[in-house]
Amino acid sequence: MRRIDPQEFPSKFPGNVVLWKPSDAAMLASYAVYQVLLEAGLPPNVIQFVPADGPVFGDAVTSSEHLCGLNFTGRTFKRLWKQVAENLDRYRNFPRLAGECGGKNFHLVHSSADVASVVNGTLRSAFEYGGQKCSACSRLYAPDSLWPQIKEKLLEEHGKIKVGDPAQDFGTFFSAVIDDKVSAVSCLCWGAAPSWSMIMGRRCVPLAAALGARGRALTPPHPQEIFGPILTVFVYPEKRFQDVLELVDTTTPYGLTGAVFAREKSAIEEARRRLRNAAGNFYINDKSTGAVVAQQPFGGSRVSGERGKTPHGRGERPPRPPPRAPGGRLHAGGPAPAAGALLSWNRMQPLNHGHQEARGSVGRQRREERGSERALS
């Protein structure tokens, strides 16, 4: 089994002998995890830690007759898939390929949404971890009736974000991005979007947001995942909610995560139906990030990649959560009645995000959905 790691989650392994190629941007953290595993008693040959140039490593493993699987995170999955196909007659087994290739994730705001929930969720999703998460929000769709309130609160809260060195000050929210590539892409995307206006931040500087010209079709400043703290905003006429659902679904080829903010049950149900294929993990009144590893499914569709990287994406049942507190009920982000709900299209069932609660088998799906509908009412 070959494992090619991302920078943000450098310690996930399948249950096989592994060649582990760490991200160039997270080499030290990955090596520290590797040393901990060895010190904990892992036999030294179970995991081979192989720092290498990405294309060189990819060429080597896909040409080996012993390749049995590839677990990949990055943007060159198509290249690796083609190489495997070209070498198929060479392998002793049919290799299994699983890949996650990023996302251009959205927050869709309905006119019935709670503004505080929208602002808090969007700022955290877009700028936490420097926007360097595959699930980070990079597209915000807001109705013109709420946009003045949302903009005011966004600017207010954005101004409170503390930038600095978290090693020196634990109150720091935002620190340095992983490398110079993020800043370079930031400059590139602004140069490609002359019709957009800056509402916070500065050009070529992280922690920025852009506002699309009202009434125009949304074209992100950069067509691919930026993987940095860049947020684009499109203000749509409130009465054209149906049209913006189509826009959200067709703007990018990705389909990893997304969220809808609304308090009207009919709007939530319509968004669930229309955006079914736009996100593998779909959130209701919660930010598009934060699925708990090993407790909640995670995965996308379309060019975001194959969904079999996590056990739950393959249909396996997650472990039971801790017992719910008597009468306990979490509402994340304000008074919205559906706060904190997570819908995983991987298994077609709603999950309680606040309690990391994963429910039973697919056979109970309809009963769970009815329970979710009661929670939304």
**Domain extent for 31:** 2-100
Respond yes or no: is residue 269 known to be catalytic: no
CATH code of residue 301:
3.40.309.10
Whether residues 377 and 250 share a domain: the answer is yes
Most confident of 12-26, 154-168, 197-211, 285-299: 154-168
**Taking a C-beta distance cutoff of 8 angstroms, is the pair 101, 110 a contact?**
no
Whether residues 261 and 127 share a domain: the answer is yes
Single out the residue in 65, 82, 100 at which a domain terminates: 100
Whether residues 213 and 323 share a domain: the answer is yes
**Taking a C-beta distance cutoff of 8 angstroms, is the pair 309, 294 a contact?**
no
3-state secondary structure of 77: helix
Whether residues 255 and 374 share a domain: the answer is yes
Single out the residue in 46, 68, 100 at which a domain terminates: 100
Average pLDDT in the chain: 75
Single out the residue in 79, 100, 121 at which a domain terminates: 100
User: What is the structure's pLDDT at 3?
Assistant: 55
Q: Of 105 and 331, which is predicted with more confidence?
A: 105
Q: What is the mean pLDDT of residues 84-100?
A: 91
Which is catalytic among the residues 134, 189, 225, 306?
134
* DSSP track, 87-149: TGGG-SS--EEEEE----EEEEE-TTS-HHHHHHHHHHHHHGGGG-STT-EEEEEEETTTHHH
* End-to-end Cα separation, the chain, in angstroms: 47
Phi, psi for residue 299 in degrees, rounded to 5: 165, 165
% residues pLDDT > 90 (the chain): 34
**23 closest CA partner among 134, 136, 187:** 134
Whether residues 211 and 322 share a domain: the answer is yes
Whether residues 175 and 246 share a domain: the answer is yes
d(CA 29, CA 21): 13
- pLDDT band, very low/low/confident/very high, at 243 (cuts 50, 70, 90): very high
Q: Residue 47: enclosing H or E segment and its boundaries? A: strand 47-49
d(CA 1, CA 68): 6
Query: Angle at the Cα of 139 (from 133 to 142), degrees rounded to 5?
Result: 140
- Whether the pLDDT of residue 77 is over 50: the answer is yes
User: What digits encode the pLDDT tens for the residues 10-67?
Assistant: 545 555 688 999 988 889 999 999 999 999 999 888 899 999 998 999 999 999 999 9
Query: Angle at the Cα of 61 (from 58 to 62), degrees rounded to 5?
Result: 80
Q: Burial, 170: exposed, middle or buried (Cβ in 10 Å; 0-12, 13-18, 19+)?
A: exposed
Q: How many domains does the structure of the chain reveal?
A: 2
Whether residues 90 and 140 share a domain: the answer is no
Whether residues 265 and 161 share a domain: the answer is yes
**Looking at this protein, which amino acid is placed at residue 218?**
L
**73 closest CA partner among 130, 119, 132, 138:** 132
Q: What is the mean pLDDT of residues 303-314?
A: 59
Respond yes or no: is residue 68 known to be catalytic: no
Q: Which two tokens stand for residue 348?
A: 């077609």
Q: What is the mean pLDDT of residues 72-76?
A: 79
Which is catalytic among the residues 100, 128, 225, 357?
100
Whether residues 114 and 241 share a domain: the answer is yes
Whether residues 163 and 290 share a domain: the answer is yes
CATH code of residue 91:
3.40.605.10
- Whether the pLDDT of residue 100 is over 50: the answer is yes
Whether residues 155 and 177 share a domain: the answer is yes
**Taking a C-beta distance cutoff of 8 angstroms, is the pair 30, 20 a contact?**
yes
Cβ atoms < 10 Å from Cβ of 93: 10
Whether residues 108 and 207 share a domain: the answer is yes
- Whether the pLDDT of residue 72 is over 60: the answer is yes
126 Cβ contact list (under 8 Å, min separation 6): 136, 137, 138, 140, 209, 229, 230, 231
